[in-house]
Amino acid sequence: MPSAFSLTGRVALVTGASRGLGFAMAQGLAQAGARVVLNGRDPVTLEARRAEIDAGGGQATVAAFDVRDRAAADAAIDAIEAQFGHLDILINNAAFGVARDFFDISDDDWRVSMDVALDACFRLSRKAAAGMVQRGWGRVVMISSVNARIGRGTNTAYITAKAALEGLTRGMASEVATRGVTVNCIAPGYIATDINTGFRADPARYEWIRNRTPMKRWGTAQDLAGTAVFLSGDASAFMTGQVLIVDGGMTIAI
């Protein structure tokens, strides 16, 4: 009997997959049997990541494009479907935040944050889901953040985009629920990746987050891999429109 957690035969596109959370989730999907398409803007880095997955026994290909570029994103999904015959899983992971005081955030800063962390997710989901509903099976997974529900200074644009992304998850899920497609969301807590190296380099801030987390540690990128596999397969078939918080308990304690 096939495992409900097996992704064998599935094709998955993971955005922002050249490092951090995106790459860890891509590795998890590949280990579960999916052919993974790695997205990012730097083809050289993506090729190195592809080689890592292949060396580990997985299957990966590269789709280098800026998620803000609608034409390039549409073309990439068309190419995936032409090459493999189907795109079954979309992990909307790419995001961008501007760490500035509220009164210092420019309109351009705000717009870039929304374009990457929200608008691109809407466009990619709409494009990918069109094929999914035709085939009667699909999984869309948004990557939000605990910052969608708890605030932190100098982070307003990112907080806003992630809160809206959870709304997009619920709205889209309700519309495609009868057509074989589920739409769910992962909200990670504070995860140690290269994107927040500067934040973690400050001992006071590092310890503040660690002590604010009941598990008394920062998360690792691999902490999200299992959740991504769960939401990408048959194990979560009766679950849609939900947000799974993976934060070491940060949002349930004071």
Q: Which of 65, 158, 190, 218 is catalytic?
A: 158
Number of Cα atoms under 13 Å in the Cβ half of residue 158: 20
Q: What is the DSSP letter of 1?
A: -
Within 10 Å of residue 88's Cβ, how many Cβ atoms?
23
Handedness of CA 39, 177, 234, 78 (dihedral sign): negative
Q: For residues 173 and 130, what is the distance between their CA atoms, to the nearest angstrom? A: 13
Burial class (CB in 10 A: 0-12, 13-18, 19+), 98: middle
In the residue annotation, 190 being an active-site residue is answered as no
Contact 95, 22 (CB under 8 A): no
Output the CA torsion 74→89→164→76 (10° steps): -20
Could you tell me the two tokens for 160? 């806003």
39-76 burial, b at 16+ Cβ within 10 Å, e below that, comes to: bbeeeebbeebbebbeeeebebbbbbbebbeeeebbeb
The closest of 124, 21, 25, 146 to 72, measured between CA atoms, is: 124
* Catalytic residue list: 158
